[in-house]
Amino acid sequence: MKALMKLKDGGMALVDIPEPAPGPGEVKVLVKATGICGTDLYGYSAVKPPVVLGHETAGEVVEVGEGVKRLRVGDRVSTETTAYVCGKCRFCQSGNYNLCPERRGLGSKVNGAFAKYFVIREKSVHRLPSNVDFLSGALTEPLACAI
């Protein structure tokens, strides 16, 4: 599949990469809308190239991994930027997983949404209400930053 990837030399390129498959506790999302953040344009220290950029996104669940209980194929969703955490540290245990020292962000340390599909942990995915379109759903992350 085609994806926009940040390269080690600091540039970006449209590249072909394998389609991802969800692992245990993960869902595969078909991207329907993705915003372009300043961090996507200019990069920042958390980005570890090569990586597919994009974290302001909404889409449709097309596949679920083993153990996924809350989401189903066909669900319309938006995601948080936290793709993976350890689940064991004091921050994760207290619900402050955004502070996990092992946190890996969507589009910075884990391939993101500037592609047809991406995978992410179920706990970072939220169903969109029926009255929220995909374009509006992609704005949940920047809106959350402003609240």
Nearest to 58 by CA among 37, 26, 80: 80
pLDDT for 91: 97
Please indicate whether residue 48 or residue 57 has the higher confidence score (pLDDT): 57
pLDDT for 10: 72
First-to-final CA distance of the chain:
35
Q: Mind listing the pLDDT tens digit for each residue in 81-135?
A: 899 999 999 999 999 998 999 999 999 889 999 999 999 999 999 999 999 999 9
Its pTM stands at 0.92
* Contact present, 83 and 26 (Cβ < 8 Å): no
Calculate the alpha carbon distances from 102 to 57, 86, 123, 142 in Å.
22, 6, 16, 23
Q: Which domains does the chain have, with CATH numbers?
A: 2-80+107-146 (3.90.180.10)
